[in-house]
Amino acid sequence: MLDMGITADLAVLSACQTARGGNGWGEGAIGLSWSLFASGASTAVVSQWEVDSSSTTSLMIAFHQRLLNATTRAKGAPDALRQAAIALMKNPAYRHPFYWAGFISIGAK
């Protein structure tokens, strides 16, 4: 994966536990996000635990809408993810942090 030449500003891995990985001696956490960074991506949105499919769908749609909407444009992936999580919390079915807190944005933007 390291020689893929990824030029994306943002990589979104919305599957379960995409932030997990092992610890490499002198390297820190090594997982899919590390591989994306080493391949050229500058920012990744990844999940820390097994996530619920329906709430993840809602969260990812809200996240991408906030990134792309010119009138309410988020200030990068972390802000868009935060805004999407806040929107999801307003749904009583998804109020518990399990449904929205599993995703993190790591990287430069």
Which pLDDT score is estimated for 106?
A: 84
Q: Looking up tokens 């868009």, which residue turns up?
A: 80
Q: Is 78 a domain residue? A: yes
The reported pLDDT for the residue numbered 23 is 55
Q: Would you give per-residue pLDDT tens digits along the chain (109 residues)?
A: 456 666 778 877 766 556 555 555 554 555 676 677 777 777 888 888 888 889 989 999 999 999 888 666 668 888 999 999 999 999 999 999 999 988 888 887 6
60 and 35 within one domain: no
Instruction: State the residue range of the domain holding 88.
Output: 52-99
Tokens of 32: 């899919």
* Per-residue model confidence (pLDDT) at position 83: 93
**Residue 14 and residue 46 share a domain:** yes
- Does 6 map to a domain? yes
- Same domain? For 33 and 68 the reply is no
Same-domain status, 43 and 61? no
Look at the chain and report how many structural domains it folds into: 2
Is 54 in a helix, a strand, or coil?
helix
How many CB atoms lie under 10 A from the CB of residue 70?
Answer: 5
